[in-house]
């Protein structure tokens, strides 16, 4: 019988940089090629980056150049178009797209719910409560920071919602941290001592 030779559409190439003895392979450096598109993209990105100066701090050197106004507008237009398409699909399903519109109150509510989950006071149905006390503190501090930074710019309803949320979350945080700090209550004696 004649053997059928199967051809596959790929080639196996050893791209390991070191031999089994741990030494650098001589042909390894020759095999590694950088695609030209990656080089041109990296070059263009590097050209946009500000040149570090002696007076620049490390954080200033690490900040990338923001997109141009034209790039931002093109991206915003693409985002709006994509959102319109999603909204039309939602409305074809019998719901109003306004139900899913993000408002400041909905944003605050999402942070409130996140903090309640982190405090272990809310949980997914059928799941055990999970406490993330550090995460809860950060979420509460985020709400507090939003309150400071938006002072004088909120509607009365938004201000009321924010203040009530902060009050409830801070009280819950104190209760949970106090409960975690308390030693467990001794249960009824189950031993057979006292004979």
pLDDT at residue 193 is higher than 80: no
What is the tens place of the pLDDT at every residue in 94-124?
A: 888 888 889 999 999 999 999 999 999 998 8
CA distance 130 to 138: 16
Q: Domains of the chain: which residue ranges?
A: 102-181
Per cent of the chain over pLDDT 70 is: 64
Res 33: pLDDT? 45
Res 4: pLDDT? 54
Res 171: pLDDT? 97
Res 118: pLDDT? 95
Q: Is the pTM of this model over 0.75?
A: no
Confidence band of 36 (pLDDT split at 50, 70, 90): very low
Say what the alpha-carbon torsion angle 104, 106, 112, 117 is, to the nearest 10 degrees. -150
What is the tens place of the pLDDT at every residue in 129-164?
A: 889 999 999 999 999 999 999 999 999 999 999 999
Name the more confident of 40 and 77.
77
């Amino acid at each position: 019988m004649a053997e059928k030779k199967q051809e596959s559409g790929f080639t196996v190439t050893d791209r390991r940089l070191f031999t089994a003895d741990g030494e650098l392979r001589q042909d390894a450096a020759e095999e590694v090629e950088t695609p030209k598109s990656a080089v041109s993209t990296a070059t263009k990105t590097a050209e946009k980056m500000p040149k570090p100066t002696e007076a620049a701090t490390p954080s200033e050197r690490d900040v990338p150049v923001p997109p141009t106004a034209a790039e931002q507008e093109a991206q915003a237009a693409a985002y709006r178009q994509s959102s319109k398409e999603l909204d039309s699909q939602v409305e074809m399903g019998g719901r109003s797209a306004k139900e899913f519109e993000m408002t400041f109150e909905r944003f605050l509510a999402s942070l409130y719910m996140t903090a309640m989950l982190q405090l272990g006071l809310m949980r997914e149905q059928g799941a055990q409560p999970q406490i993330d006390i550090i995460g809860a503190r950060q979420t509460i501090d985020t709400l507090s920071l939003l309150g400071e930074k938006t002072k004088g710019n909120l509607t009365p309803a938004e201000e009321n919602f924010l203040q009530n949320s902060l009050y409830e979350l801070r009280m819950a945080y104190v209760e949970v941290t106090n409960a975690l700090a308390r030693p467990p209550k001794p249960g009824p004696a189950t031993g057979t001592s006292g004979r």
